[in-house]
């Protein structure tokens, strides 16, 4: 039986113009609000903002790496609460609320919670593999 820890080790990623370009290429999300300081300023932001799902995927990675691959996200429900500026460090955390349910969040290095919600974790079944075609 898999243990569900009270917390998973936090995982931190420092964003940069380079990670923003990599993530834009990965997702084909070239929205200039993530890449262009001038465009971001016109949109009312002090700097370009991190792609929302870059923070979300940091959480997905935190579950995978923090459990040494034993746990995965089954269901997740989050909202993006605040923008993260390019150049800031992001930290993903998960705290058990009971059973398989965890409160999850991503916090920027100025203390703001930029993503929050909850997730249901489940053991990753090593036999549950898509067969090779």
Partner 1 sequence: MSDELWTFERLAPGAKFGPVEVPLNGERVEGWQGVYGPVAGDHAPDGLIVAGMMEAYIRAIQPRPKGNVHAAQKLSFTGQRARLGETVTYTVEVLSKEQKKGRNWIVFAIAASAGGTPLLRGEVTAIWAA
By CB under 8 A, name the binding residues for partner 1.
Answer: 13, 18-19, 22-23, 25-29, 31-33, 43, 51-54, 56-58, 60-61, 64, 72-80, 122, 124-125, 128-130, 132-133
CA geometry: angle at 83 spanning 112 and 72, to 5°? 80
Query: Shortest Cβ distance from residue 48 to partner 1 (Å)?
Result: 13
Kindly tell me which of 73 and 107 has the beta carbon lying closer to partner 1: 73
Cβ atoms of 92 and 116 closer than 8 Å: no
Kindly tell me which of 54 and 107 has the beta carbon lying closer to partner 1: 54
> CA–CA separation, 29 vs 3, rounded Å?
37
> CA–CA separation, 38 vs 46, rounded Å?
9
Kindly tell me which of 59 and 107 has the beta carbon lying closer to partner 1: 59
């Amino acid at each position: 039986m898999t243990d569900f820890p009270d917390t998973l080790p936090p995982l931190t990623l420092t964003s940069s113009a380079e990670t923003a370009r990599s993530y834009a290429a990965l997702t084909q999300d070239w929205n200039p609000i993530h890449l262009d300081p001038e465009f971001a300023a016109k949109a009312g932001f002090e700097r370009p903002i991190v792609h929302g799902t870059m923070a979300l995927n940091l959480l997905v990675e935190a579950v995978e790496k923090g459990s040494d691959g034993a746990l995965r996200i089954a269901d997740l429900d989050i909202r993006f609460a605040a923008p993260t500026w390019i150049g800031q460090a992001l930290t993903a955390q998960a705290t058990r609320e009971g059973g398989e349910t965890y409160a999850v969040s991503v916090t920027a290095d100025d203390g703001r919670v930029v993503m929050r919600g909850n997730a249901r974790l489940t053991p990753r079944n090593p036999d549950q593999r898509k067969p090779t075609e």
